[in-house]
Amino acid sequence: MIETIVIPLLKIAVLLNAVLVSVTFMTLLERKVIAWAQSRLGPMRVGPYGVLQAIADPIKLILKEDITPVKADRMMFTLAPIISLVPALVVFAVVPFGGDELFYITDINVGLLFIISVTSIGVYGIILAGWASNSKYPLLASLRASAQLISYEIAVTMTLVSVILTAGTLSMVGIVQAQQDSGLWYGFVQPVAFVLVLIGGLAETNRAPFDMPEAEQELTGGFHTEYSGMRFALFFLAEYANMIVISAVVTVLFWGGWLRPFPSIDALAFLDLIPSWIWFFGKMFVFLYLFIWIRATLPRYRYDQLMRLGWKVLIPIAIGNIVVTGIAKVVL
Amino acid sequence: MAEALAFYTLSVLILGLAVAVITTPNTVHSVVFLVLNFLCVAVLYVFLQAEFLAVIQVLVYAGGIVVLYLFVVMLVNLGRSPEEHQDPRRLGLIGLGLSGAVLLELAGIIAYSYTREQSPPVTAAQASPVQGNIEELGWLLYTDYLIPFEVASVLLLVAMVGAIVLARRES
Amino acid sequence: MATEASPIFDTDELVINMGPQHPSTHGVLRIVLKLDGERVIDADVVIGYIHRGIEKLSENRDWTQIILLTDRMDYVAAATNNLGYCETVEKLMEIEVPRRARYIRTVLAELQRIASHCLWLGTHAMDIGAMTVFLYAFRERELILDLFEDYCGARLTYNSMRIGGLPLDIPTGWDNKVRAFCDLMESKIPEYEELLTNNRIWLERTRGVGVISGEDAVGLGLCGPPLRGSGVYRDVRKDEPYAAYDEFEFDVPLGTNGDTYDRYLIRLEEFKQSIRIIRQGLDGMPEGPVMGKVPRLIKPKAGETYHAIESPKGELGYFIVSDGRATNPYRFRVRPPSFCNLQGLRPLIVGHLVADVVTLIGTIDVVLGEVDR
């Protein structure tokens, strides 16, 4: 009873809180890092060095008036932010944050596919938000967003096939263990796949330079133009939660999850003194930082260029990568 | 016991959602009910320990195909009233015929399963040299069902080419 | 077109109203876009939302009071507006401006050009999604505003020139500050270039976007960087030198393709040329008074004149008629570069995607205060 119900529930509660809190601090991190990149200070007023800004922002959003436009479809308008947040949180169930069983909620044999399929539900949030707002800009933005998400989902899924081929398993824990057995992070075995997943991940989370859906310079805010208050905050939470998911997935698939660098070299065994979850969070943080860094650096792609990149560059490369991996797998 | 309870709750949900899909006047709402329906079916697959199928159900149907439905429903003007058909009863007749066919088919399946010998379930799985859900499926697809699999892929390819040809505008 | 389509796949044109409250229309520009999918098939540019009647107001003001009003046309380049107006009146009254005043005016005008281009670069890059460039460019613009504050006390609307010269000589040590700024600016331009010039995404977003041939550019009456971007050599500073430009050496950069990228390169090159001019101006700064001999009551004799200068946006011309009796102009008319360049917007955006619309508004660099006046 305790084993099957209480402990998982406790883990879920802890994880959900951890994710939501880290999302709020992600926003602070993003503002700070971008500020440093742009030679300014970022938030400095709330708390020392603006640390409490992360708390102040959600409070502000909760207290704001929650407006539903008169012409909006009330049911869908309310449902959309929920649909976009829930999948982003659900996928954390299969992310192994550490080597011990304590650090993941469950390890299912189709873990990676589970992540892909659940995140694919998130697109409904965006489409329905745009449609239910009953307004032109959000509709246009939501169409762009969903087309973008679907296209890049194909590219990412195709790429992941080659990783699955290499690892021989779909389980997230299994993939890390496969890297441990082979003694090499898959980032070195599958560098092409790593780059593709990273680019696809940027596009799937609607981050710069693929932040078309919310291109505020063109579409005055994107699919959530009509949203305010906490409903808007849910979209925001979803975006950052998705960023964390992508970082976690890239960490697990290519950067050895919770493993220390060069897990096969015994001379580096002293690195094992650092707990596995610290390795994991450290690697994840690198990617989150990278996401923010990219946003501060690059201009935005145009919609048609984005589509061209997805369909004519990423997908062919992904297919080629599968073929090469398959041949290598048979030959070796 | 718990499993049975979950199964019946799910079944009620699935049937209820299916009814909602065809009775809702708003097409977008109807598509959303369809997605929920698919998700419930995926849960049913999980109960049958077909996790792979469940995940694929979500990925392909809920996450892919229905999104395109939604596109079509949102973009294409479906405001035409059903009265445009000359014979209002024609649809009813087709419906009657189709539902009769489905009923017959169901009856056939039930009758067949009763008359068949109570053999141990899934012989192919025992014959396959691999263990596990996904491997088994893969093995079956590429051995026993290779031809149907390939035919289906060719069919999809043809459909894709056809769609491109149709969508292409004369410029 | 819509009527020919089949009833199921009706490709209705979507009419979208962009502005006047839109984050990237650079003020209160309104564009009614007719879209086919994401492609613009027609556009209607609506102006007039910030019309304050500056020209008519000027006809009821003293000649000196008008300087103040000119500040408020192109408010990101107030000094060049002052310069153009003062020179026009001087031309009308045949006033000789002291050489030192002309040098300082040139330095101020070129500083203003850098400030205006900084603002353009920042907003243009921001429109295309490169937010860091915006803050970098504004960081340098801030320094120029500080220099102007040192000179005349104001940061945006300077009222920095007078008919016949300048109200003030430059403060002690100001020239060294400007020199220091020039050195700094020169070190910052590579920073912008590093972020943009060879950036693949920037190239894809700007190359071949908004191409306009030299012939069309002349036909539409474009001026300034949009005209030079199409390879047409026209710079008032060279063609009809004013202030002290005839005494300085500088190049006029020209584009070849007439696309957004060329116009970007031209403006970046103008940064460097402006620094070159400022340095020459400071080095060769003559001694002497900064105010010429001007009658106490400014009252030009009857006549009319047109005088143009090269403002950061293009050819800024003033046409002034005096009836010789009143202490205010009889007719006051501005040829604003932004207004003329905005003519080119519709032909530029038709056929492009929605995302390019903001790029193209950015590339022609309009200030709505000047368009509407």
| Tens digit of each residue's pLDDT (9 = 90 or more) over A59-84 | 888 898 888 888 888 888 888 899 88
| Tens digit of each residue's pLDDT (9 = 90 or more) over C130-187 | 888 888 888 889 999 998 888 888 888 888 888 888 888 888 888 888 889 999 988 8
Mean pLDDT of A245-251: 89
Residue pair C87/C320 in contact (Cβ under 8 Å)? The answer is: no
pLDDT band for C2, please (50, 70, 90 cuts): very low
pLDDT exceeds cutoff 50 at C5: no
pLDDT exceeds cutoff 50 at C100: yes
Task: Tell me how close the Cα of C6 comes to any Cα of chain B, in angstroms.
Answer: 11
Which H or E run includes A47? none
pLDDT at C4: 42
Mean pLDDT of A104-127: 84
Look at the domain B1-78 and name its fold: Four Helix Bundle (Hemerythrin (Met), subunit A) (1.20.120)
Cis ω for the linkage preceding C286 (within 30 of 0):
no
pLDDT at B171: 55
pLDDT exceeds cutoff 50 at C320: yes
Q: Give the Cα separation of C35 and C17 in Å (integer).
A: 10
pLDDT exceeds cutoff 70 at A124: yes
For all residues of chain A together, what is the average pLDDT? 84
In percent, how much of chain A has pLDDT > 90?
A: 1
pLDDT at C131: 82
Give C-chain residues touching A298 at CB under 8 angstroms. Answer: 129-130, 199, 201
User: Chain A residue with minimal CA distance to C354?
Assistant: A218
Q: Give the Cα separation of A202 and A197 in Å (integer).
A: 8
User: Chain B residue with minimal CA distance to C37?
Assistant: B75
| Preferred mutation among C126, C128, C195 to probe A, highest tally of A CBs within 10 A | C128
Q: Give the Cα separation of C147 and C153 in Å (integer).
A: 9
Which 20-59 residues of chain B touch chain A by CB within 8 A? 26, 28-29, 32, 35, 39, 51-52, 55-56, 58-59
pLDDT at A216: 56
pLDDT exceeds cutoff 60 at C328: yes
Q: Show the tokens assigned to B43.
A: 């849960």
Helix residue ranges, H only, B1-145: 2-23, 27-47, 51-56, 66-75, 88-115, 123-127, 133-142
Report the DSSP beta bridge partners of residue C321.
C304, C331
Q: Give the Cα separation of C130 and C119 in Å (integer).
A: 14
Could you report how far apart the first and last alpha carbons of chain C are, in Å? 39
pLDDT band for C7, please (50, 70, 90 cuts): very low
Tokens 């973009």 identify what position?
B75
Residue contact A114–B132, C-beta within 8 A: no
Query: Whose CA is closest to C151, among C178, C126, C129?
Result: C178
Task: Tell me how close the Cα of C12 comes to any Cα of chain B, in angstroms.
Answer: 10
pLDDT tens digits in sequence order for chain B, 171 residues long: 778 888 898 899 999 999 998 888 878 888 888 988 998 998 888 888 777 888 888 888 888 888 888 887 777 655 555 555 556 666 778 888 898 999 999 999 888 878 776 655 555 445 545 556 777 788 888 888 888 889 999 999 999 899 888 877 655
Q: Show the tokens assigned to C77.
A: 């380049």
Per-domain residue ranges of chain B: 1-78, 131-171
pLDDT band for C9, please (50, 70, 90 cuts): very low
* More confident call, C178 vs A217: C178
For all residues of chain C together, what is the average pLDDT? 85
pLDDT at B16: 92
Q: In the 8-state DSSP scheme, what is residue B146?
A: H
pLDDT band for C8, please (50, 70, 90 cuts): very low
pLDDT exceeds cutoff 80 at C3: no
Query: Whose CA is closest to B139, among B151, B124, B154?
Result: B124
Q: What pTM does this model have?
A: 0.81
Mean pLDDT is lowest, of B36-50, C3-17, C150-164, C270-284, for: C3-17
Distance of CA C273 to the CA centre of its chain: 16
pLDDT at A295: 85
pLDDT exceeds cutoff 50 at C6: no
| Tens digit of each residue's pLDDT (9 = 90 or more) over C241-253 | 888 888 888 888 8
Q: Show the tokens assigned to C250.
A: 């500088």
